[in-house]
Structure 1
Amino acid sequence: MDTDTQPDKRAWLRTIVDPLRPVARELLAASLFVNLLALAAPIFVMQVYDRVIGHSGLETLKGLVIGMVLVLAFDYVMRQSRGRVMQMVALRIDVEVGTRLFDKLMRLPLRTLEGRPTAFWQQLFRDVDALRNTLSGASAILLADLPFVFVFLGVIFVIGKPLAAVFLVMFLLFILLAWRSGRALADSAQREKNVTASRDALVAEIVAGRGIVKSVGLDRAVRPLWEERQAGAIEHAIQRGAVADGYVTIGTELTQMASILLTTVGAIYIIDHELSMGALVACNMLSARLYGPINQLVGAWKSFGGFRQSVDRLSELFAESEDRSEATMRLPRPNGRLTIENLNFAYEEDAPPSLGIERLDIVPGGVTAILGKNGSGKTTLLKVLMGLYPPAKGRVLLDGADIAQFSRGELASWIGYVPQDTLLFNASVRDNIAYGAPGCSDEQILAAARAAGVHDVIADMPKGYATGIGEAGSKLSAGQRQRIAIARALVGNPPVLLLDEPSASLDRQAEEDLRATMAELAKTRTVVVVTHSPVLLPACRDVVVLDRGHLLAAGPAAEVLPRLFGTRPAAAPQQPPKPNPAAAVPPHQMQARVTP
């Protein structure tokens, strides 16, 4: 089965390489001329020794020099042409593989993206560099030159036939060295890469949380971890380097041994008048062209091993299943009614369900609050409603249509989302809002900012909407980042708006403003908010209470909240009262439909 599926996994590579076959023929043609022209120098030296020096042939020397000048000029042109071919290949690989990788990442399901560390996804883009360097760099030229080694071996047989046996034996020794070094370097490079990946993953986590690391003083705790992984990476790097250096040294010694042996045997044949002095010198020059590529192959195995690993990683990624890219049915702009039927969702196949809801309806025209303890499944429920987490059983309906039928792009345009951890990009305020609906007009951006209650704040900034916000919005306060994220979710005017703890970074006045904003937005769309804030609860028409992934209570806020808290909460209590499970909705009402 593995032999059948492996070619399919690498089908993407063939689609990249196959169109490059004409370019590869140009490369081989250029390499042919470059290597044939390389024969000119040894032949020139042989002729000078045998015909010019011994016969004082100055006219012959003049002709040979003129010929070599022309050869060198043509060689320069051919090498430049080969370099341009390599640049074109590099550009094509960068564009096609890089674009395909980015598009693939954007189409992967969220669970797949969350299943690997950040360092893994960063490594994939370095794998694109490995492909480019191998297919269009020195490694590609080395592979193009390798077949012409047999051409030089054939010329040696012609001009220095008595030395052929020496060349043949040394050539076989170099081949054996290259094969053995390739296996050894592949094993050591794989061990080094595994340890280095672990270290890079830790560094990525430290950099991502650098603010917490600095403020809490976590450097004392993470330093031993880093030192341990760094020591392991250094140890394996030294081991791999020692293996590589050992084989390179052996290759160098073989080269010198070959030169000494060639000169010794050649001298004997010259004394016996079976070989000319010029032929011996020419064969010595040709030996460098013969052993050079094979000796380079000894040091290039690391690159080839990295190339194979990069291809394997990219092949596994491109074989991953994707989000739906095209809808199976057309649906006009929904009204925003959300329905859950017999839903079960688990993060792992063998794990107990993280969510288990038999029936839940959320209707437009009001704010629905989702309450529950930490870890009760509130954020998971939002991601299931958006289609980011496909349920193992059951379905989610939008206006009566299963959301599994629609593409990720359509769902994103219909369901706005403000996550608990706000993500902004290092761009202007306007750009960050516009990312929610690419191609939107300035009027839409202004309307979204006003609806989110952040327009006045932006107007007071030094450059208004053109103000840069820094990396991840570092130049803004947490509340400003939250409001801009809400504006980004609203710029496409989605019929459904999901908010995950939107007031976590807001002060009391900002919370009250957000409550008024939510009430206004809910007049024309479905608003679902996960919150622990008592300030936002008075704006909620309906309440859904989760406990350990199951529906504990659902219904109008005026009925559920008194049972949940024991009494009706004040409009803005200072501390949220703790839920009283004993006073919650009884079990026979747990599947109550959320209605106005």
Structure 2
Amino acid sequence: MLQDPRPIKPLQHALSEVLEQLAIEFLPSQWRLQESLTDPGPQQELRHLQSYLDACNIPYQVFHNIKPQELKHLPSSTLAMADNGSTGSLGELARCSTEPLVLRWAVQLDASKPGSRKNQNSDNPVSLLAFWQKLRDSVWLRNALRFEEGSFKPVIYASLLINVLALAGPLFSLQVYDRIIPNQAYASMVALLFGVALCLGFEHVLKHARHSLMEIAATSIDTRCTSQLSEALLNVPIHKTEPTVLLQHLRSFEHLRELVTGVFLLALIDLPFLLLFLVVITLIHPYFLLVAVAVIGLTLLVVASSHYRLSRLGQTQMKQARETQSQWLDSLASLDSIQAHGVQHAHGKLLNQLQLKSRMGGNAVREQMFQINQKIHLLQQSSWVFTITLGVYLIIEKQMTVGGLIAVSMLTMRCFAPIQKLQSHLVQTHSAQASFEELDQFLGQDKKNPQARSALDKIEHIELKSAGVLKPNHVWESDQESNFIVRNINIDLPVGTRLAIIGPTGSGKTSILKLLAQQLKCDHGHVAVNHLSIDHYHPSEFSSKVGYATQPPVLIKGSLLDNIRFMRPHIDTAACWKVLNQLGMKPGWSSIRMDCTCQLKARATIFLQVKNRRFHCAEPWQENPA
């Protein structure tokens, strides 16, 4: 063990026990990171706990100033701080308290809600057969592969010819040792050499052709899979978007793509041609078939028996690698906070520990793979020894020839080729298995398209009615003002109205704009467009009539006109200048070159569009260096 996962402080200890009951792993490294980033002050323990739960995407509810008569509504696993400052689980605090218990705050975990990792950690690896069954039944993957269109038929035909031509070597040895050498038929030897050379040449050409055909089919599959993934990622509801989760889907796609378009698929295509070699072995002598079938069966048994353990190790190693990568991303994103708190050295030690832990997980996988490869190699060598021993006995008994023995040895070794390829990519299969389950849930989910939607020709009126948005991992039932980002917002915006929202940082100005742009969903109240609820319109209808410029702005290389006309080349220059003049922007700005690295400020603006022109408007100006 690289570190003792058992926490020391009471709150850490209570949290680890509660997470263990919920089948969620406690991450000491993440706990220490959030502790180093939490500012000292009032309710430091609560802010530290909330930061950890938010980082691990664990839903929770927070309650303040809980009186003794209200404790009956909370489970004993609730994390809390008593009025005397002691922290721990509610059950432990109640047992240690001799007086009526009063709580400053309480945090109730709810791992059954979306976003919980309970199901992700408790899933057991399924068998290889069940995994391939899932692959076959997946609608989106079947649409991407499109086997019915015959994209892999040329590859299969080429594999058939390659495996047939592979018989040239054993048959050549059989003829040389049984007929050419005893009869000294050198002319026949020349003819055989010419024929074998042709076979080897055709095999070489066919392998190149199969590789090219496989690349073409793989590129087509990759394009279709990427199209489906990009469509799903870019159309995911913005209020449900979490960059870490979407990045995880991209990584899962990379693992699955390597499985369905790489060498593993070629080895899988070659596997059925074992029967061809076994048939030829049987024709030479049936006894060798028993040896070959027994050894191949034992090899497949070793692979199948090691699947569960290797799958477990592979999933653990993948989770550790993702934790390390996620920690690196979080560290780079919060680099200013790390430097401001002066915790670079401690944070560097944390990253080193995570990297070492990930490396040790990879070492365990490689050690298991080494043991499996050694077992297969031992079986392969044993097969060769048994074949030679049996062949010598049959030669002495004059039941076969030396050429037949050499041919059988070559065919037996050939039978192991696809099995060895499959085994070498077995870890890749396990990684793809976990990746496919994540992607299948993301891409295979039903898209809810209501049957009837109202048409939205133009927007004449937008209204917020008692709109409220909850903070992440909070519920409406708690009904506490601290649980809301914005609450009871009422805004009436007829067409042509200009609205300025003024308030301090964190008061909800951007959240109100995102509510109007439907990038946030109301947890209470609703948004009305033309006096109808926004739910009556299709999201694409609404987004085509409303533009939203984010803060900070996302700009492309070029002038202001280039940015306004981006993806809308039909907009003429006069219309662009009209919009810029309405926003009070001077024509001189059009000559300034801008890219995404410029230091710009922007005031986000909602612009209700007339004449179906969608402008994302902003008022940029150069930041004063002084």
Task: Give the TM-score, by structure 2 length.
Answer: 0.69
Aligned to 2:217: 89
Amino acid at match of 2:330: E
Aligned to 1:266: 391
The answer on whether the counterparts of 1:343 and 1:394 sit within 8 Å (CA) in structure 2 is yes
Aligned to 2:312: 187
Q: Relative to structure 1, is the Cα distance of residues 455 and 202 closer, same or farther in structure 2, using a 3 angstrom cutoff?
A: farther
- 2 CA distance for matches of 1:445 and 1:397? 30
The answer on whether the counterparts of 2:555 and 2:594 sit within 8 Å (CA) in structure 1 is no
Amino acid at match of 1:271: I
**What pairs with 1:208-219 in structure 2 (closer than 5 Å)?**
208=333, 219=344
- 2 CA distance for matches of 1:68 and 1:87? 28
Q: For structure 1, list consecutive stretches of 5 or more residues without a partner in the other structure.
A: 462-466, 510-596
Of 11, 19, 22, 2:150 maps to 22
CA shift at 1:214, angstroms? Answer: 7.0
1:478 is aligned to 2:600: yes
Secondary structure (helix, strand or coil) at the match of 2:522 reads coil
CA shift at 1:200, angstroms? Answer: 1.4
CA shift at 1:493, angstroms? Answer: 8.4
- 1 CA distance for matches of 2:498 and 2:540? 25
1:406 is aligned to 2:540: no
Amino acid at match of 1:441: D
Alignment deviations for residues 345-389 of structure 1 (CA, whole Å, 9 cap, x no partner): 434473546244275423455443334555444333322222222
1:99 is aligned to 2:227: yes
The answer on whether the counterparts of 1:343 and 1:393 sit within 8 Å (CA) in structure 2 is yes
- 1 CA distance for matches of 2:338 and 2:352? 16
Aligned to 1:580: none
Aligned to 1:378: 509
1:144 is aligned to 2:272: no
Aligned to 1:244: 369
CA shift at 1:279, angstroms? Answer: 0.9
The answer on whether the counterparts of 2:163 and 2:273 sit within 8 Å (CA) in structure 1 is yes
- 2 CA distance for matches of 1:384 and 1:285? 71
CA shift at 1:35, angstroms? Answer: 0.7
1:361 is aligned to 2:512: no
Of 306, 311, 321, 1:196 maps to 321
Aligned to 2:433: 308
Of 271, 274, 285, 1:160 maps to 285
The answer on whether the counterparts of 1:30 and 1:78 sit within 8 Å (CA) in structure 2 is yes
- 1 CA distance for matches of 2:444 and 2:416? 41
- 2 CA distance for matches of 1:443 and 1:9? 54
Alignment deviations for residues 231-281 of structure 1 (CA, whole Å, 9 cap, x no partner): 221111111111112211222222222222322232222223222111111
Of 462, 474, 483, 1:338 maps to 462
Q: Relative to structure 1, is the Cα distance of residues 141 and 309 closer, same or farther in structure 2, using a 3 angstrom cutoff?
A: same
- 1 CA distance for matches of 2:156 and 2:225? 23
- 2 CA distance for matches of 1:498 and 1:78? 55
Secondary structure (helix, strand or coil) at the match of 2:528 reads strand
Amino acid at match of 1:261: F
The answer on whether the counterparts of 2:599 and 2:623 sit within 8 Å (CA) in structure 1 is no
- 1 CA distance for matches of 2:326 and 2:215? 33
- 2 CA distance for matches of 1:76 and 1:503? 62
- 2 CA distance for matches of 1:20 and 1:107? 28
Aligned to 1:49: 177
The answer on whether the counterparts of 1:149 and 1:290 sit within 8 Å (CA) in structure 2 is yes
Secondary structure (helix, strand or coil) at the match of 1:370 reads coil
**What pairs with 1:391-430 in structure 2 (closer than 5 Å)?**
391-425=522-556, 430=561
Amino acid at match of 1:24: F
Task: Give the TM-score, by structure 1 length.
Answer: 0.72
Secondary structure (helix, strand or coil) at the match of 2:241 reads helix
Of 386, 399, 414, 1:289 maps to 414
Q: Relative to structure 1, is the Cα distance of residues 468 and 76 closer, same or farther in structure 2, using a 3 angstrom cutoff?
A: farther
Aligned to 1:572: none
Of 250, 254, 264, 1:125 maps to 250
Alignment deviations for residues 377-423 of structure 1 (CA, whole Å, 9 cap, x no partner): 43333222222223244321123232223333443343332334433
- 1 CA distance for matches of 2:366 and 2:187? 53
- 1 CA distance for matches of 2:404 and 2:586? 86
CA shift at 1:198, angstroms? Answer: 1.4
Aligned to 2:454: 329
Aligned to 1:440: 571
Question: Which ranges of 4 or more aligned residues in structure 1 deviate by more than 6 Å?
Answer: 5-9, 211-218, 323-327, 488-500, 502-509
**What pairs with 1:525-544 in structure 2 (closer than 5 Å)?**
none
- 1 CA distance for matches of 2:468 and 2:518? 13
Of 274, 279, 295, 2:404 maps to 279
Secondary structure (helix, strand or coil) at the match of 1:340 reads strand
**What pairs with 1:446-461 in structure 2 (closer than 5 Å)?**
446-452=577-583, 455=586, 458-459=589-590, 461=592
Q: For structure 2, list consecutive stretches of 5 or more residues without a partner in the other structure.
A: 1-122, 124-129
Higher RCO structure (Cα 8 Å, ≥6 apart)? 1
CA shift at 1:431, angstroms? Answer: 4.4
Q: Relative to structure 1, is the Cα distance of residues 386 and 6 closer, same or farther in structure 2, using a 3 angstrom cutoff?
A: farther
- Rg larger in structure: 1
Secondary structure (helix, strand or coil) at the match of 1:251 reads helix
Q: Relative to structure 1, is the Cα distance of residues 82 and 507 closer, same or farther in structure 2, using a 3 angstrom cutoff?
A: closer
